[in-house]
Homo-oligomer: A and B are copies of this chain.
Amino acid sequence: MLKIKYINHILEELDVIKDMLGRNVFAVDTSRSPYALLKPVSITSVKITEGFWKMRIDAVFQNTLMSIYRKLEETDRINRFRWAARGLPIQSDKTVFPFDDTDVYKWIEACAYKLAQAPDENLEKLISQIISEIGSAQEPDGYLFTELHGKHDLRWKNLAFNHEMYTAGHLIQAAIAWYRATGDSSLLNISTKFADLITETFKPDGLRGACGHPNIEMALVELYRETGKRDYLDCAIYLVEERGRSLIRSDGERGFITVYNIFGGAEYLVDHQPFKELKEIAGHAVRALYLNCGVTDIYAEIGDKELLLTLHRLWEDMTQYKMYITGGVGSRYITESFGEPYELPNMRAYSETCAAIANFMWNWRMLGVTCDAKFTDIMERTIYNGILSGISLNGTRFFYMNPLASRGQYTRQEWFLCACCPPNIARLLTSLPGYIYSVSNEGIWMHFYTSNTSSIKFNNIDVKITVKTDFPWNEKAEILVDPSQEEKFTVFLYIPSWCDNPVVRVNKERVKATPKTYLPINRVWRSNTLIEVAFPMKVKFNIANPLLEENFGKVALSRGPLIYCFEEVDNPKVNLWNILITDEKDVKLSYLNDLSSIVGLQVNGIELIEGLRDYLYLPINELKVRSKKIKLKAIPYFAWANRGMGSMRVWIPSTKRFTILESRLRSKKEARMKVRKTKR
C-alpha cells in the first residue's frame, strides 16, 4: 500500500506536469489514424520518477546529448550545413557518408523529446541556431542534402546508395518532434519544403523508384498526420509500391553493379519483390524494419488488409527464425543484414543497435493496430536487452554491433565513422515516456512497468496513474489509479510472457491473469484504486531451437525481461570458453559491488581443464580432461562492457541438456528390463 506521504509527493509531481507546455508530444501520433486501435499518450503526460528507466534516461539527459553534440561538431557534421550554405565542398575525412546529415537531425529529435520533459533554455537556443544553419543550406526549390548540394545533375540518380530521401525522412522526423515539443515551426517549414519537392518529384506521372534506405515512408505519414496534407501520405504509399520493381538503382555509376552485388543486390535494399509479395524478412535489417514501420503507419491510415497480412508474415518469419534472444536482429556482419533462418552467430553477431531500435519501433506500430501483446513482448525483450546494450551505463559510449559473445575484441566507442546508432538510441530513450501507456476506446493500456506519475486523458476525464516499482529487479509493482471522476472503463495491463504465475490484485482482490496478454480490468474506477501486481521472476534457463546449431546444448539465463551474460570481470579465474552449467536449480541472486543497483546471478558449473591452446582438432580419446566445480556469476546483458574489456558469453553449454536425455534412455531401458524380469 502506498504511503500517504508518497501520494502527496506524487500529486506535487503531477502539478509540475500540468504546468508544462501542455503540448502533445508523440513520437508516433496515431490520435486520428482510423485503423490505429491504440492512441498515444503524450511524453509530457508521463513522468518517470525513479528506478531503472529514470537512471537510464537521466544518463542520456545529463551526458549523452551534449556528448553527441560535441562529436557532431568535432566530426564536421554540422559544418556540412555551414559549408553547403557557403557553397563550399565537404572536405573532411571525419564525415564521409552521404547520410551524415541525419546524425544532426536525430540528435535534434532527441533534444526535442528532452525539452518536452525538462526545459533547458541553453539547449533550445543552441538548436535554434543550428536549425537556422540547416535552413541556410537548403536550396531554393527545397532540396536539402549537403552531400549533393548544388549538384542538380546528380540528384535522385543513385537511389540505391545515396540516401537522399532517407535523410529527408530524418529531417522531417526531427522537425515534427521539434515543433511538437517547442511550438517553433522553423524546422517544420524547412522540412515541408523538402517534402513538397519529394512529393512533386516522386509520383505516378513523375520519377520512378524509391530510396534504397527506407525511412521517408514513416516520416511522410507522420508529416501528413501533423499537417493534414494528403499528398504526403500518397507519396509514402507510392514509394512503398515502387519497391520490388528494380527501380532502385544507380544511373551509370562505374562499379555500381559490383558494390550492389557484394551488398546482396536487390534483396539488401528490400527491392527484390513488391512489398505485398514478400514471404520472408530479408535484406539490410534497418532498411527492412524502417520500411515495415512505414507500411504499418500507412496501414494505420488506410487499412489495407494485404499490407497488414504481409507485416504479420514478416513478423512471424523474423521472430521464429532470425532474431537473437536479446531482440537484436540483422545477424549478418558485413552487410548488416538478416541471414538465413537460424543464421544467428554469437560472436559474429552484427545485431546493430539501430536494428534493435527499428525492431522496437515496428513492434510499437504493430501493437497500435492490433492490440496484440506479442508485440509488447518483443518491445520488452528489445529495449531491456538488444537496445540498451548499445549504450554504456553513463551514456557516453556506444556499441554499433551487439555480439552475444566476445573474447575481448569488442568495446563500446564514443563515436563511429558511420554514427547512426548514438543519436538513434538517444532519441528512443528520451521519448520512452511516450511508450508506457496508450489509450483506446475501451480504456487505458499499460505496456511497461516503471515508476511514474502520469496524467492520462480518457473520455474527457483525467486519470492520474502512479506506479511505484523496482522493476525489473523486483517482481512487484503498485499502481494507483485516480480518475478525476468516477468512471467505468478498462485498464489493460500487460502481463509479461516470461512470467508463469502472475499475480494481480485490485484493491486486494485477486484477478486472474495470463502471460503474454493484456489483462483487461473493467470496472468503475474510483479515486485511488490500487492495483498490485507481482510477476515472479524465476530464473529461466532458455534453450534455442536445435536448428540454431551454434547454441545446441547451451542455455541462456534470463530473469524477468533481462537476458543475462557471463563476463570475464565477474569470473576472473575462469576460462569462459570451457565451462558448463551443471545445475539448473541452485541459482542465487548476487549483488555486485561495482555495478550499483544491478542484480546478478550465480549458478553452479564446472570448468574443464584442457590444454586449450594446444589443438584445433583432436581425436576425443587423446583428450586429457579434468574438471573442477565452480561458481559462475552472470550480469544482465545490457550492462556488459562497462568495466573494461574482457570475454563475455550469453549462451553456455549445459550438461543437463545431454544427461537428461541419456538418463531417460537408460530409465526406459531399465523399465523394459524390469518388465522382462516380471514376465519371467
Contact = CB atoms under 8 A, between A and B. Distances in A.
Nearest to A654: B620
Contacts of A442: none
A606 B665 contact: yes
A608 B546 contact: yes
B542 A577 contact: no
Contacts of A575: 546
Contacts of A74: none
A446 interface: no
30 contacts: A254-B254, A254-B255, A255-B255, A258-B259, A262-B334, A321-B616, A334-B335, A339-B348, A343-B348, A345-B348, A405-B549, A540-B621, A541-B621, A545-B618, A546-B577, A547-B577, A547-B612, A552-B553, A552-B577, A552-B653, A558-B619, A580-B661, A606-B665, A625-B664, A627-B664, A653-B658, A655-B658, A655-B659, A657-B658, A658-B658
A653 to B, nearest CB: 6
A333 B610 CA distance: 30
Contacts of A550: 345, 549-550
A620 B655 CA distance: 12
Contacts of A547: 407, 577, 612
A6 interface: no
Contacts of A657: 620, 658
A66 to B, nearest CB: 30
A548 interface: yes
A185 interface: no
Interface in A245-284: 253-259, 262-263
A62 interface: no
A378 B478 CA distance: 66
A645 interface: no
Of A577, A619, A665, most B-chain CB atoms within 10 Å? A619
Interface in A598-654: 606, 608, 610, 612-613, 615-621, 623, 625, 627, 629, 653-654
Contact of A542 (B256, B407, B540, B618): B618
A325 interface: yes
A656 B616 contact: no
Given A255-B259, A617-B325, A606 B545 contact: no
Interface string A332-351: 01110001110101111000
Contacts of A625: 660-661, 664
Contact of A347 (B253, B343, B541, B654): B343
Given A258-B259, A259-B255, A653-B553, A620 B584 contact: yes
A544 interface: yes
B255 A661 contact: no
Interface string A656-672: 11111110110000000
Interface in A292-347: 319-321, 323, 325, 333-335, 339-341, 343, 345-347
A347 B46 CA distance: 48
Contacts of A498: 619
A541 B257 CA distance: 46
Nearest to A97: B258
A555 interface: yes
Nearest to A344: B616
B544 A627 contact: no
A582 interface: yes
Give 8 closest A-B pairs by Cβ, nearest first: A658-B658, A540-B619, A334-B334, A546-B578, A550-B550, A541-B620, A553-B553, A547-B577
Which of A341, A547, A627: most chain B CB closer than 10 A? A547
Given A255-B256, A540-B620, A547-B612, 11 more contacts: A254-B255, A255-B259, A262-B334, A345-B348, A542-B620, A543-B620, A546-B608, A556-B617, A580-B658, A627-B664, A655-B659
Nearest to A558: B619
A593 interface: no
A627 B259 contact: no
A105 B507 CA distance: 85
B543 A618 contact: yes
A596 interface: no
Interface in A554-593: 554-556, 558, 575, 577-578, 580, 582, 584
Nearest to A547: B577
A546 B612 contact: yes
A616 B544 contact: yes
B661 A606 contact: yes
A8 interface: no
A654 to B, nearest CB: 8
A616 B548 contact: yes
A654 B662 CA distance: 11
A136 to B, nearest CB: 28
B254 A627 contact: no
Interface string A448-466: 0000000000000000000
In this complex, the member of A333, A578, A612 whose beta carbon has the largest number of chain B beta carbons within 10 angstroms is A333
A678 interface: no
A617 B627 CA distance: 29
A344 to B, nearest CB: 9
A425 to B, nearest CB: 24
A405 to B, nearest CB: 7
Contacts of A623: 543
A409 interface: yes
A619 B541 CA distance: 5
A555 B620 contact: yes
Nearest to A254: B254
A258 B418 CA distance: 12
Given A335-B334, A616-B320, A620-B584, A629 B546 contact: no
Nearest to A651: B549
A540 B584 CA distance: 33
